[in-house]
Amino acid sequence: MTGSAWLLLCDSSPALRCRVLSDLLGVPSDDPELVDLTARRSEDPAVLALLEVDPSDFQHLCLLLGRLGRLGLDRDHPRVAELLERVFERQEDDGSFPLDAFRTDDRYSMIPLQASVPLRAVGSVGAATDPRSEKAYEWLLAQRVADGSWPTGVVAGQPGSVPGYRRLPGSPGCRANTEAALAALVLHPARAGSEPARRAADLLLRRETRDEWALGTEVARLHGRERATGFISLHSRFDLAFVLDLVSRTGVSAQDSRVADLVEFLDGLRGPAGLWEHPRHPDLSRWLTFDLLASLGRLAADGWSGEGPRLRFRPDTGPVKHH
């Protein structure tokens, strides 16, 4: 892994090089090269452009925070702190966030994403343990169904339907909401390895799908190369890089048979230089490689292993509706 990580340092982005040094190579924060790159990160064109963005709605506000966190900025930055407070200003008394702030079907009275999307945003800039975040996490956990997944939501007092593309094999839950909830949980230092996070990871790992074409969907969205359209359908694609990122943060074992098979499949996609090519945006290949190397580095030799079966995924043949 180290050899491939050094190749990433050839990238022109100081934001990426900062993350390679700190996240992959374990360079201490007072290392002269890292200190220099951290200072130059604020001059990264991608960072400068994002700092000037005025989000048009609440969902774009959450996405903007996630993108800034991706580039290494946190709540200590004045602009990030301002955006963070704008998120918390919308929080409801019960800890959730208003459903009507999102572009979604107005028949629903509850969708777990109404908390998991903002939680992922604030967690990405280091605010997962803020007391307001903790209240939102408790609301989110209260929405779980009996098997530990998260439902689509509530429509007229009844559970919402789960279209084929969002099915969790062997579960009544919604993959999109379960995946989004896990994405929020893993950014919390104590909740990342908790039972709810491990259970969600276990359910995601049951799905036997190898959608090579979807690899790097989340990377493309975080870098603004693909539009973040819809709400529940934000998680319509089963991006294996994103799945490995999420489950690796829960402390899962590299010996879990499902994880081992996934790693073997992904390793077979590596190029001759040890890097992964993004299937749609070649210029994001080094960021995709960074994510995959970081995920592989987190897999624990003595972590937990799931017992859930591996089930073949059979989606509906109908089109995906963007809710």
Cβ pair 119, 62 in contact under 8 A = no
* Amino acid 315: pLDDT: 57
| More confident site: 309 or 266 | 266
Per-residue pLDDT of 141-154, as tens digits, reads: 999 999 999 999 99
CA distance 215 to 277: 9
Per-domain residue ranges for the chain? 44-300
Residue 318: pLDDT above 50? Answer: no
From edge to edge, which strands make up the β-sheet containing 158-159? 108-110, 154-155, 158-159
126: left (phi over 0), alpha (psi -120 to 50) or beta: left
Classify domain 44-300 by CATH number: 1.50.10.20
Average pLDDT over residues 277-285: 95
Per-residue pLDDT of 4-19, as tens digits, reads: 888 899 999 999 999 9
* Amino acid 321: pLDDT: 38
* Amino acid 43: pLDDT: 86
Query: What are the phi and psi torsion angles at 242 (to 5°)?
Result: -70, -40
Nearest to 235 by CA among 297, 182, 302: 182
Mean pLDDT score of the chain, rounded to an integer?
91
* Amino acid 300: pLDDT: 86
Per-residue pLDDT of 191-250, as tens digits, reads: 999 999 999 999 999 987 788 999 999 999 999 998 877 788 788 889 999 999 999 999
Q: Give SS3 for 258.
A: helix
* Amino acid 317: pLDDT: 38
Residue 63: pLDDT above 80? Answer: yes
pLDDT band at 39 (very low <50, low <70, confident <90, very high): very high
The neighbouring-strand residues paired with 158 are 155
- Residue by residue, what is the 3-state secondary structure of 96-109? CCCHHHCCCCCCEE
Residue 310: pLDDT above 70? Answer: no
Name the DSSP class of 232. Answer: G
